[in-house]
Structure 1
Amino acid sequence: MSEPVQKPLPFGFQFLAGAIAGVSEILVMYPLDVVKTRAQLSTGVSTGIVETLKNMVKHEGTASLYRGIAAPIMVEAPKRATKFAANEQYTTLYKKLFGFEKVTQSLSVMTGVSAGITEAFLIVPFELVKVRMQDKANLGRYTGTADAFKKIIAAEGSMALFNGLEATMWRHGVWNGAYFGLIYKVKDILPKSKDASEQRMINFAAGTAGGIVATACNTPFDVVKTRIQSYNGVGIKKYNWTLPSLVTVAKEEGFASLYRGFTPKVLRLGPGGGILLVVFETVSSFIRKNILKEE
């Protein structure tokens, strides 16, 4: 890597930096996530991003752009904190376990996949509630996040909150593996930064590139996850396990349907990936200099 090797932050500070990064990203980019979910649940012709946003504001009010945000906000801090902290912890573990002397791209992919799977176990109930609340078919069904949790458990049982866990593991394992692998590669290619401002630009470029490629890799799994989690126990359950569901969607709706919602998703998670990395590295740097007093 072109930048000097630093010791990992203590776990608590890794968690804090990841939490701040995650909340910052979601507050800026969340409306695109609502549009993405609507597109993924649609089996017909999807409208464009701008038209969807305009129709939502017109027919459902401006607040609809942030429908269901309480669930991801509740989990966003631990989710993003887990993403970065687990990645750092797996890096330390795998370096010892497999004899890596330094961080490589293959190690970055391995740790990213592992961190993504770990993250999936934490977030799946909140993802399910978010999907149910964002679904246009459920307008008026839930008064808020707590009400959604209560009604889902009452109607379907507490284990229903973990519907889509396997698909969530696929989604996050693939995304994180590609994201952290690309971050490593981009940073390795770009010249070493001369100051903090230039380093932030490098981090944004690396995070954005990682977010774009990771989104291209994991969108089919995200589409299937959304379909699985939208099922409310009524009627025939069409989607269950990830790989058979991928085949079903491609067969019935065409391969392109596996990329429903890709545009708003990549517009969120491309720059969003850059925001995540910049904020995480900036907060980490602040902690090193002002709290841990590292040189």
Structure 2
Amino acid sequence: MPKPSAAPAPAAAPAPAAAPAPAAKRIPLGMKFILGGAAGMGATCIVQPLDLVKTRMQISGVGGAAKEYKNSIDCLTKVITNEGPLAIYKGIGAGLLRQATYTTSRLGVYTYLNDFYKVKFNEKPTLLVYLAMGVVAGACGAFIGTPFEVALIRMTADGRLPVERRRNYKNVANALSRIVKEEGVTTLWRGCMPTMSRAMVVNMAQLASYSQAKSMFKKYEMKEGLRLHFVAAMMSGFITTIASMHVDIAKTRVQNMTYIDGKPEYKGAIDVMGRIARQEGILALWKGFTPTYCRLGPHTVLVLVFLEKLNKLYFKHVLGTSSGSGL
């Protein structure tokens, strides 16, 4: 008698669907701007004396006049001797307000675009994309920050003028109000185009080279942390200084120029660079390279390192995660 066939085994229950991965926590857009500004202001408090030396060096020898300073050390020594030790922080209010507008805008825009690209395309930006994001961020920040840039340049340069020609602004608010009253509101945006051009070059070089340097060093197993941020930022600062110096000196002279018999000293940034090359030599377009790099290098390091740390702190203490990253 044949054995009854075994009952078919019950079908296996379908495996439960995997729970969707939680969305990565991100810093809100408004907070990106705030953290960027805070990083810039913190760095400015440290490097303001170098910014003053850079400005004095760049306007030294204007119009073929004899050079006032032999080098950066001579400039710093003369400022302290002739104007007092606190003079090295002249214009700090304008510098901080510039960072609160310019750096807040440029770093906020850049980090937003960086995050947007990574989410949209699920990959890290290429070098060309980094460059494009730096240009956009720089243009936005420069336009917003130009009035404070004008005030900063004038306040840091004032001490070198003869007493009867000094503007003697009491503070940044007094500088802005007097510029509007005496020269018109549009003067606040004097040199806006070279300022934007410089910012586009600076940000394209600075932010793109920093992001690219971080990616490159990570391939050599350099871990995320202060050492990586420092090395990448110093490389970024050097590249940025070379790329932007000639535009920076043109911007400085346009913003500090005076009118002679109702006519401006310069027609524009191109006129500045042409006259510098003819009267002072082509290398004068990089006049003040040392204080500029000594200022831009540490400033780049401090801004980007501060920003990385502020981002980390926000991820840890506000968002409750340690997986977030900065630029």
Normalised by the length of structure 1, the TM-score is: 0.90
- For 1:77, the equivalent position in structure 2 comes to 100
CA offsets 1:167-201 (integer angstroms, 9 cap, x no match)? 0011110000001221122212213444xxx6111
4+ residue segments displaced more than 4 Å:
92-97
- For 2:188, the equivalent position in structure 1 comes to 161
Does residue 1:146 correspond to 2:181, yes or no?
no
Do 1:95 and 1:101's aligned partners in 2 also have CA atoms closer than 8 Å? yes
Does residue 1:21 correspond to 2:44, yes or no?
no
> Which sits farther off after the overlay, 71-80 or 151-160?
71-80
Distance 2:254 2:167 in 1: 21
Which letter does structure 1 place at the counterpart of 2:226? R
Distance 1:203 1:149 in 2: 36
Task: Using the TM superposition, give the Cα deviation of residue 100 of structure 1 relative to its aligned residue in structure 2, in angstroms.
Answer: 8.2
Do 1:133 and 1:139's aligned partners in 2 also have CA atoms closer than 8 Å? no
Distance 2:72 2:99 in 1: 24
Do 1:90 and 1:114's aligned partners in 2 also have CA atoms closer than 8 Å? no
Does residue 1:118 correspond to 2:144, yes or no?
no
Distance 1:280 1:92 in 2: 15
Q: Which has the higher helix share?
A: 1
> Which sits farther off after the overlay, 79-88 or 109-118?
79-88
Does residue 1:51 correspond to 2:69, yes or no?
no
Report how many aligned residue pairs link the two structures.
286
Distance 2:246 2:76 in 1: 23
Identity rate, percent: 29
- For 1:184, the equivalent position in structure 2 comes to 211
Q: RMSD over aligned Cα, in angstroms?
A: 2.1
1:107–1:8 CA distance, 2 compared to 1 (3 A): farther
Distance 1:100 1:244 in 2: 46
Identify the match of residue 55 of structure 2 among 37, 50, 61: 37
Normalised by the length of structure 2, the TM-score is: 0.81
- SS state at 1:292 partner: coil
Distance 2:266 2:297 in 1: 28
- SS state at 2:255 partner: helix
Task: Using the TM superposition, give the Cα deviation of residue 35 of structure 1 relative to its aligned residue in structure 2, in angstroms.
Answer: 0.6
Whose radius of gyration is greater, 1 or 2? 2
Do 1:13 and 1:287's aligned partners in 2 also have CA atoms closer than 8 Å? no
Do 1:91 and 1:107's aligned partners in 2 also have CA atoms closer than 8 Å? no
Identify the match of residue 126 of structure 2 among 95, 104, 114: 104
Task: Using the TM superposition, give the Cα deviation of residue 156 of structure 1 relative to its aligned residue in structure 2, in angstroms.
Answer: 0.9
Identify the match of residue 260 of structure 1 among 280, 283, 287: 287
Do 1:8 and 1:88's aligned partners in 2 also have CA atoms closer than 8 Å? no
Distance 1:140 1:226 in 2: 17
* More relative contact order, 1 or 2 (CA 8 Å, 6+ apart): 1
Distance 1:266 1:243 in 2: 23
What runs of 5+ residues in structure 2 fail to find an aligned partner?
Answer: 1-23, 323-327
Does residue 1:208 correspond to 2:208, yes or no?
no
- SS state at 1:239 partner: coil
Which letter does structure 2 place at the counterpart of 1:171? R
What runs of 5+ residues in structure 1 fail to find an aligned partner?
Answer: 1-5
Superposed counterparts of 1:202-241, under 5 Å: 202-235=228-261, 236-241=263-268
Identify the match of residue 273 of structure 2 among 238, 242, 246: 246
Distance 2:244 2:122 in 1: 27
Which letter does structure 2 place at the counterpart of 1:231? M
